[in-house]
Amino acid sequence: MTLILSNDDIEQVLEMNELVPVLEEAYIELVEGRGGNRRRSDIVTPTTLRDDGLYALKSMDGVIPKLGVGAVRLNSDILTFPTTGNEMRRVKVPAAPNNRYVGLVLLFSTHNGEPLMICPDGVMQRMRVGATNGIAAKYMAREDADTLAVLGSGWQAGAQVLAHAAVRDLKDVRVYSPNPDNRRAFAAEMSEALDLDVRTCETGEEACKGAQMISCATNAVMPVFFHDWLEPGMHIGTVRPGATEVEKAAWSDIELFALLDHDDNAEMIYTHGVLVGEDKVGSYGVEQDDWHNGLPSLPQIINGDREGRINDEQCSCFLNNLGMGYQFAATGYVVYNKAKELGLGTELPTDMFTETVHP
């Protein structure tokens, strides 16, 4: 039987304290050459929905033999690039019927190839990003770090808080985002989740002052963390590709950078003369230079192949520079096993998704 899950099902079973160790183990498998990941592929075309939009078909996949699973993540997106104040953002539009987004994860068995699970990607993608940044903080932040500043109050930001709480005993959490109502609602939600008074700040600078860990959790393609806010010993985590969330002027004063992985330029295929970089958002929001060559990857630091933080005064920055189908294999493993244990979801005959015809 093939398990069909909803995002509501996944929210019931996917907990950060269970995902972090599995994903950490999966990264060791990857750097040791026992796991496999394929670079992301994006096909970007015009869309008939709206003149200021683009259509993007994205796929990524990965296999973790130790866990016995492989996964494919698929997205069918309508993209727009609005400007709010001085910040340009990449915004997906819920254009499918009933104002919905389209993202799927397909989980397969490496034992016999069967499709184990089909589900939406939304909750899983949020949690795997948060867990990865949490793991980075575990290995790159000061051991005594217990103060977190969150820049952003959207969908990604909550997972960042939960992940940092899974690897550090947080004593002080602050949040800043441009919308006062959003940041107040976010602070209330996180206060309840952590049983801690999460406080709001009027500016990003106020939030970051004295914080040992900074989480940039926005969809901005321009800096949200600035050089003047940098303090000795700070660790900064980002979720956007190309280090766009951290002002370039700060880079020279950050002694330790780490990437999620080095293959950070997705394969972009543009059609009909679409020029995403020049016309929309500057190289799709990704820096296309080679400044990061030679930097350690997070899996290398976890595995001890490359050096991480060496003292409490170092400033460090983790660049969550790409999404991996591999992460969805690890996350899917956790979700599938927990959902099966609890009897969640709908099971359909696997024969509906297999065939007798030689493919």
Contacts of 147 by beta carbon, 8 Å cutoff, 6+ apart: 170, 171, 172, 173, 174, 210, 211, 212, 213
Arithmetic mean of pLDDT, 184-190: 96
Q: Same domain, yes or no, for 55 and 149? A: no
Same domain for 170 and 306:
yes
- Flag whether 281 is in a domain: no
Number of domains in the chain: 2
One domain, residues 180 and 230 = yes
User: Could you tell me the pTM of the whole model?
Assistant: 0.90
Tell me the helices (H) and strands (E) count for the chain, helix number first.
10, 18
CATH number at residue 256: 3.40.50.720
DSSP state of 94: -
Q: Is residue 242 part of a domain?
A: yes
Is residue 292 within 8 A of residue 257, CB to CB? The reply is yes
- Examine the pLDDT at 132 and tell me if it is beyond 50: yes
- Structure confidence at residue 290 (pLDDT): 61
Q: Is 290 helix (H, G, I), strand (E, B) or coil?
A: coil
Q: Same domain for 208 and 115?
A: no
* Collapsed DSSP state (helix, strand, coil) of residue 29: helix
- pLDDT tens track for 170-185: 999 999 999 999 999 9
Residues of the domain holding 60? 2-124+325-352
Q: How does residue 40 score in pLDDT terms, banded at 50, 70 and 90? A: confident
Residues 107, 179 within the same domain: no
pLDDT of res. 274:
65
